Structure 1
Amino acid sequence: MILNKYELVYILRPDVTESQNLSLINYYKRMLKKHGAQNILIQYKGRRHLSYNIEHYYDGIYVQVDYEGNGLLVETIEKLMRFDEYILRYLTTKKITIFML
């Protein structure tokens, strides 16, 4: 099975506590592993000002996750995030590899 490289960035509500924040990060890491993701790298970007308001919030907590997986995994994780009340926005992008000759 060929695994593609993906980058997932999601924004958490700024009013989540530190313990909720860590539990959410660990929850999504476990879900990625459970559904077959490999080489998971999580980067906590911290609280940042939003360019525009999202649901009356001016700030958000950014988290970036790089992993390898398939398209079904992306669909599953995004479905989980869609119904999570603590996540304001999420975006998954597929990384492409360019070979130079």
Structure 2
Amino acid sequence: MNKYELVYILKSNVEDEKRTQLLDKFRGIIEADGAIENVDEWGNRKLAYEINKVNEGYYTLVNFNAGADVPKELDRNLKIADEVIRHMIIKIEE
């Protein structure tokens, strides 16, 4: 199992219920073949630069351990979610 860090930014106007559904969906993908260490919701922040005429986003950081297939599936799901502005998955070297 490898250690990974996921940061994703949602549109700031996404409702709390939808935000929770998305987190649960991503959590389910990770927990199918791994384990979540920490979920840290940073909340609404100003973006460093405008993305598709959007200046603010809701940031979430997830630290997890998983096999090599999990980040690929997670990346695929994050790309097709309309609410996600940007995301990044990083493998943490030890």
Which deviates further from its counterpart, 80-89 or 22-31?
Answer: 22-31
Please tell me the residue identity of whatever aligns with 1:19.
E
Query: How far, CA to CA, are the matches of 1:38 and 1:54 in structure 2?
Result: 31
Secondary structure of 1:41 counterpart: strand
What TM-score do the two structures reach when normalised by structure 1?
Answer: 0.88
Query: How far, CA to CA, are the matches of 1:32 and 1:40 in structure 2?
Result: 11
User: Matched residues, percent identical?
Assistant: 22
Secondary structure of 1:27 counterpart: helix
Aligned to 2:89: 92
Aligned to 2:74: 77
Could you tell me which of 8, 11, 24 is aligned with 1:26? 24
Aligned to 1:48: 45
What TM-score do the two structures reach when normalised by structure 2?
Answer: 0.94
Instruction: Give the Å deviation of 1:33.
Output: 1.1
Aligned to 1:37: 34
CA RMSD in angstroms comes to 1.0
Secondary structure of 1:85 counterpart: coil
Give ranges in structure 2 of 5+ residues lacking alignment. Answer: none
Determine which structure has the larger strand proportion and give its number: 2
Task: Show the 5 A alignment for 1:53-64.
Answer: 53-64=50-61
Query: How far, CA to CA, are the matches of 2:23 and 2:41 in structure 1?
Result: 9
Aligned to 1:7: 5
Instruction: Give the Å deviation of 1:39.
Output: 3.5
Secondary structure of 1:80 counterpart: helix
The total of aligned residue pairs comes to 94
